[in-house]
Amino acid sequence: MSGAGKHGEGDADWRTNCDTLADVRRNIDRLDDIIAPLLCQRLFFVQQAAKFKPSKEAVVVQSRVEEIVRSVRAVAEKHDMNPDVFERVYRVIIDEFTAEEKKNWDKLHPKP
């Protein structure tokens, strides 16, 4: 793989130009090996949030969703990536994780 210059001050040199499709796939697989366990951790904490919410309806806090979306959009913009893509991806993550939190809410708050 050929190298590339640093993208931003303080950023790691992650914008490596790949010479082959195999290089691209190795980088994607390497990142998936990092991202998937982090998503597992995120889901673990999302599921815990259910124990602090008074009702199943309280699971979704729209202001918190928008706060997260604003944050990931800012990260995308900082790295010159399309913030709309990040917003769409995170809204799917939030929707799916919220569904899991609701299931967990039912387990933590069984009906008498």
- Look at residue 9 and tell me if it is in a domain: no
pLDDT value for 13: 77
- Look at residue 98 and tell me if it is in a domain: yes
Q: What residue numbers bound the domain in which 97 lies? A: 21-108
Low-confidence ranges of the chain (pLDDT < 70): 1-12
Distances (CA, A) of 82 to 13, 67, 79: 19, 18, 9
pLDDT value for 111: 83
- Using one digit for the tens of pLDDT, what is the confidence trace for 44-70? 999 999 999 999 999 999 999 999 999
Angle at 90 between CA 106 and CA 98, to 5 degrees: 5
- Look at residue 52 and tell me if it is in a domain: yes
* pTM: predicted TM-score of the whole model, two decimal places: 0.83
CATH number for the domain that contains residue 42 = 1.20.59.10
Domains held by the chain: number: 1
